[in-house]
Amino acid sequence: MKFYSTNNTSTKVSFKEAVFNSMPQDKGLYMPVSIPKLDDKFLNNLDNYTLPEIAFHVAKNLLGDDIPDNDLQAIIHDAINFYAPVVELEENVYVLELFHGPSLAFKDFGARFMSRVMSYFLEEGEKTLDILVATSGDTGGAVALGFLGVPNTRVTILYPKGKVSGIQELQLTTNGQNVRAVEVDGTFDDCQALVKQAFTDPELNKEFRLTSANSINIARLIPQTFYYFNAYAQLLKEGKDEVVFSVPSGNFGNLGAGLLAWKMGLPVEHFIAATNANDTVPGFLKTGVYQPKPSVQTISNAMDVGNPSNWVRIQDMFKDNPEQLISLVSGFSYTDEETLTALEKMHSAYNYIACPHTAIAWQALKDWEQDQSTGRVAGVFLSTAHPCKFPDVLPKHIAREIVIPEQVKNLEGKIKHATTLGKDFEAFKSYLLDNK
């Protein structure tokens, strides 16, 4: 399979080149030249397949012969070695739990798959691969654990100072080995801008072999389609074949993956883009005007993105029929106060403890259902992170009930190691050059 730049469809590269280059020099994003439609026999019998089997079939159709079957199966079995259950909370309301991986966030799907693909493509004696990643919360921890100890790689994680949770920060800053952290005195958008500028800087590209582990990398997007297909497979076993997904959205890689799955034939009735106060996309879906804005800090920090990178991919998928996108996706946004109310409601109604991002997705699903005649449609909202990552955000009486996973307990007492920088690109460039 070849991949093109969203800014220049005549620029076509292999999957390997798309993975290692991450972002084309024209500042577009890579997309597959054609999106394959999966056969009906597979789609109608998804409930007969395991998650690794589904993942292999989807990846094989997207990648073609870029990775031989046996090698691709080995990569998937190593990377996707945890489960993603669909849990029923009430009739036709389900939560898709995506936090059962090592870093307790949905980013484990993309980060682990990508790290193994990069390791597979790296050849002995090649120049060290420098991976730059901006994080608003969970991406950094997933990438850190995904690449920790991978030979011939070095990871630099940029995160906004004071704008990630304590546990998230420990996951970013206590790894050592080939992983280092940079604390940026700014927002996630500032971190993302530094990474993007580094990719197009001639001196840095001459000195380093740069790539990204953010969702701008196509190797992050592809594995995120796996859990949409797998969720549908689980619903088929429950006799449900009509589904709506409510997706908590920040940089919009998660929703982008769902729409890619839909393009491949997954029979999803509708998607809901659920955001916090950073409501650029819900605003567009309501008005037709796309107006990026500076991000604002919220209690659902992993979604504090005012100019989501992956929106260009979504627009590219629907460039021939933008009206279809408007009819397929609804947008909802919520304040911190509304998010806390949703957390309380979920706890009271289901005795279920959710992270703030998950609570937003649940509230968006419930609000969407108010205006619909949903009938047999199963509403699935995505739970993107374990609630233990946000003890200072959750109401105290709810936070006390959280069962702390072992990997979080193991972070206690570890020492933070991070370099603090401003949002000036020259300072970041000097840091990279001085710490080769």
Q: How many helices (H) and strands (E) does the chain have?
A: 19, 14
Does residue 378 contact residue 242 with C-beta atoms inside 8 Å?
Answer: yes
| 389: annotated active-site residue | no
Coil, helix or strand for 92?
coil
Structure tokens, 4: 């093109």
Does residue 333 contact residue 276 with C-beta atoms inside 8 Å?
Answer: yes
DSSP structure string for 267-320? -EEEEEEEESS--HHHHHHHHS----------SSGGG--SS-TTHHHHHHHTTT
Place of tokens 């999957």: 15
| The residue type at 18 | A
Place of tokens 């998010």: 339
Q: What pLDDT does residue 374 have?
A: 65
The bridge status of strand 2-5 relative to strand 243-248 is: unpaired
C-alpha torsion sign, points 67, 68, 74, 80:
positive
Rounded Cα–Cα distance for residues 77 and 54 (Å): 11
Each residue's pLDDT expressed in tens, for the chain with a length of 436 residues? 999 999 999 989 999 999 998 888 888 999 999 999 999 999 999 999 999 999 999 999 999 999 999 999 999 999 999 999 999 999 999 999 999 999 999 999 999 999 999 999 988 778 899 999 998 778 888 999 989 988 889 999 999 999 888 888 999 999 989 999 999 999 988 998 999 899 889 999 999 999 888 788 999 999 999 999 999 999 999 999 999 999 999 999 999 999 999 999 999 999 999 999 999 999 999 999 999 999 898 999 889 999 999 999 999 999 999 999 999 999 999 999 999 999 999 999 999 999 999 999 999 999 999 988 767 899 999 999 999 989 889 999 999 999 999 988 898 889 999 999 999 999 999 999 999 8
Q: What pLDDT does residue 216 have?
A: 86
Does residue 113 contact residue 219 with C-beta atoms inside 8 Å?
Answer: yes
Distant-in-sequence, close-in-space partners of 289: CB < 8 Å, separation ≥ 6: 283
Rounded Cα–Cα distance for residues 423 and 133 (Å): 15
Place of tokens 């484990």: 108
Does residue 328 contact residue 163 with C-beta atoms inside 8 Å?
Answer: no
Rounded Cα–Cα distance for residues 108 and 171 (Å): 13
Rounded Cα–Cα distance for residues 19 and 216 (Å): 10
Geometric angle at alpha carbon 325, from 321 and 328, rounded to 5°: 130
Rounded Cα–Cα distance for residues 148 and 189 (Å): 25
Rounded Cα–Cα distance for residues 117 and 115 (Å): 5
Rounded Cα–Cα distance for residues 91 and 380 (Å): 11
Does residue 153 contact residue 147 with C-beta atoms inside 8 Å?
Answer: yes
Coil, helix or strand for 152?
coil
C-alpha torsion sign, points 26, 27, 29, 30:
positive
Q: What pLDDT does residue 301 have?
A: 87
Rounded Cα–Cα distance for residues 300 and 136 (Å): 10
Distant-in-sequence, close-in-space partners of 204: CB < 8 Å, separation ≥ 6: 198, 210, 429, 432, 433
183: nearest Cα among 129, 140, 128, 130? 140
Does residue 141 contact residue 168 with C-beta atoms inside 8 Å?
Answer: yes
**Beta carbons within 10 angstroms of residue 293's beta carbon:** 12
Question: Catalytic one among 107, 163, 196, 240?
Answer: 107
Structure tokens, 71: 């090698």
Structure tokens, 32: 């597959």
The bridge status of strand 86-90 relative to strand 93-97 is: antiparallel
